[in-house]
């Protein structure tokens, strides 16, 4: 082994929590956290650390993320005390309408212009302190020298094995010797290492306009894709300032997830805090986001003030009767692989968010130069399910002008995960470590509409929820589809308390 940190076989107390006074990072893989904290120690910014960790995850967690996916990061600037989000997300090729039938869903038509590199470069250009190339050094090592495949990676690869080895490059990468890689095997990806090296040396132009872009488009079009080089070159990042969002409990949230102020306000306004009530809060807020929150992003005629009023504490008060007296309202979940990262640097800059394949693992099986080509079109252009306005994966909570708690989560249960952990810490007084060890409920697993609930709640609690009308699917403790809370709590004395959810065996690292 090359020294690339491996994910443990079971939760390790030394990974689950960490304390520090200067810098902190939490990710779902120790190798990513090690890369991020090393960047912080070298004087890099929170954004530098976020991107270095994310780059490593494209290597060691290929079922969750890829350089051909999307990347979003929300950055809190301590100098201005304001936050903005920078994102590079998938977009439709100019010649693609997104009306896919069953055959097209397994073809090159699912390939769209990637956003990961554009988003990363835009964030680094604004907030980076180290060189662009430095951010990819650990990712190159992990790809070239290899890392130990753990049971989580193997499990996801086994579940999607029919896609992983469908074409030659995937077969060579994930089926060395003709068989799916094994737990404990050192997995090397020399083609990906070369691509990352070129990206580090030449910048985004290599990926979006150079030789890689040409091969990426060629691969997709050989399998029926409609993407062009013009589509690749036109891919761009977006940058948007975020207004602070107040809650009924006195917090100010910095987040792209407009559902979170409603969720936290309702938990503050409703006295009962049992499992049934929390699940009903999520149901009503989800339905409200589907039907009643104005969306200024899809409809530019909507004033942002209308959206802010729709998610205010006053709006939450009007939702209380629906939660308390309404009937259960099941809903469809969002599926797709993702990684969450939260970072704090020595200056007090905070970076939080997710980067993602936005796709089932391995897409339809296509790869270019070691890079998995995901299929986010099935989520964003021709989605299986509708996603509410205000869906988001991370938040920063402020109080009296100071950061209190930052958290993010991947997976279909991202909203439920961040909500439950935030309520535990902000409203119930738990420590971040106590919170990540609590049982969770999550989303349903498509096509079911029955939310998953960990059996560790106990028979009495689960029977009560079912008796009151919420159909649930009991699952084993520490279920991966509950997400993975990556979080940092800020002590009054300046101490940073980082936690990594035991469900995905990640790591919090600080100094």
Question: For 43-66, what is each residue's pLDDT tens digit?
Answer: 999 999 999 999 999 999 999 999
Segment 194-200 shows an average pLDDT of: 98
Domains in the chain: boundaries: 37-72+86-234+370-380, 240-335+389-510
**75-101 pLDDT tens trace:** 999 999 999 999 998 889 999 988 888
Q: What is the mean pLDDT of residues 475-492?
A: 96
Q: Which residues contact 33 (CB under 8 A, 6 or more apart)?
A: 5, 25, 26, 27, 53, 500, 506, 507, 508, 509
Predicted pLDDT of residue 336: 65
Mean pLDDT for all residues in the chain: 95
Q: What pLDDT shows up at residue 280?
A: 98
The answer, yes or no, to whether residue 335 has pLDDT greater than 80, is no
pLDDT given at position 1: 40
Fold designation for 240-335+389-510: 3.60.20
What letter does residue 5 receive in the DSSP assignment? P
DSSP 9: S
Per the listing, tokens 């490059």 go with 169
In the chain, pLDDT over 90 holds for what percent of residues? 89
Split at pLDDT 50, 70, 90, the class of 398 is very high
Residue 153 pLDDT exceeds 50: yes
Structure tokens at 282: 């999520």
φ, ψ for residue 509, nearest 5 deg: -140, 135
Q: How far apart are CA 265 and CA 287, in angstroms?
A: 16
- Measure the CA dihedral 463/264/422/417, to 10°: 50
pLDDT at 193: 98
Q: Examine the pLDDT at 297 and tell me if it is beyond 80.
A: no
The per-residue pLDDT for range 99-146, each reduced to its tens digit, is 888 899 999 999 999 999 999 999 999 999 999 999 999 999 999 999
pLDDT (mean) for 401-425: 96
Express as a percent the part of the chain with pLDDT over 70.
97
Note the pLDDT of residue 364.
96
């Amino acid at each position: 082994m090359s020294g690339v940190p491996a994910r443990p076989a079971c939760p390790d107390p030394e990974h689950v929590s960490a304390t520090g006074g200067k810098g902190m990072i939490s990710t779902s893989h120790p190798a990513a956290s090690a890369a991020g904290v090393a960047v912080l120690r070298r004087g890099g910014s929170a954004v530098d650390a976020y991107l270095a960790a994310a780059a490593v995850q494209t290597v060691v967690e290929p079922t969750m993320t890829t350089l051909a996916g999307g990347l979003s990061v929300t950055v809190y600037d301590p100098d201005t005390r304001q936050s903005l989000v920078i994102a590079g997300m998938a977009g439709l090729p100019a010649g693609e309408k997104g009306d896919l039938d069953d055959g097209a869903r397994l073809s090159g038509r699912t390939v769209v212009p990637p956003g990961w590199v554009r988003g990363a470069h835009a964030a680094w250009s604004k907030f980076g302190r180290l060189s662009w190339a430095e951010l990819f050094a650990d990712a190159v090592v992990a790809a070239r020298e290899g890392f130990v495949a753990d049971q989580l990676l193997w499990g996801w690869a086994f579940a999607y094995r029919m896609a992983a080895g469908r074409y030659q490059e995937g077969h060579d990468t994930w089926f060395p010797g003709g068989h799916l890689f094994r737990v404990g095997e050192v997995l090397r990806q020399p083609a990906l290492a070369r691509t990352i090296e070129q990206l580090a040396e030449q910048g985004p132009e290599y990926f979006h306009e150079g030789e890689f872009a040409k091969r990426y488009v060629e691969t997709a079009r050989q399998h029926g894709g409609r993407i062009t080089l013009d589509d690749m070159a036109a891919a761009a990042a977006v940058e948007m300032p975020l207004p602070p969002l107040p809650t009924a409990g006195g917090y100010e949230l910095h987040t792209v997830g407009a559902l979170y102020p409603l969720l936290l306000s309702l938990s503050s306004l409703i006295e009962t805090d049992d499992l049934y009530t929390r699940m009903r809060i999520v149901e009503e807020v989800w339905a409200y986001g589907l039907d009643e929150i104005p969306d200024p992003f899809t409809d530019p005629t909507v004033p942002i003030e209308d959206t802010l009023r729709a998610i205010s504490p006053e709006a939450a008060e009007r939702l209380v009767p629906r939660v308390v007296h309404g009937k259960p309202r099941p809903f469809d979940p969002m599926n797709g692989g993702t990684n969450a990262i939260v970072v704090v640097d020595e200056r007090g800059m905070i970076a939080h968010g997710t980067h993602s394949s936005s796709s089932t693992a391995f897409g339809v099986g296509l790869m270019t130069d070691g890079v998995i080509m995901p299929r986010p079109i099935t989520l964003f252009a021709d989605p299986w399910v509708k996603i509410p306005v205000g869906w988001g994966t991370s938040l920063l909570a402020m109080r009296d002008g100071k950061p209190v708690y930052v958290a993010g989560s991947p997976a279909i249960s991202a909203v439920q995960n961040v909500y439950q952990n935030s309520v535990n810490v902000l409203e119930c007084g738990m420590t971040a470590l106590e919170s990540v060890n609590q049982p969770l409920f999550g989303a349903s697993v498509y096509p079911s509409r029955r939310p998953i609930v960990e059996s560790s709640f106990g028979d009495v609690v689960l029977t009560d929820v079912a008796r009151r009308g919420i159909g649930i699917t009991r699952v084993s403790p520490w279920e991966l589809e509950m997400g993975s809370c990556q979080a940092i709590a800020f002590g009054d004395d300046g101490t940073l308390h980082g936690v990594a959810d035991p469900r995905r065996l990640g790591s919090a690292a600080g100094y």
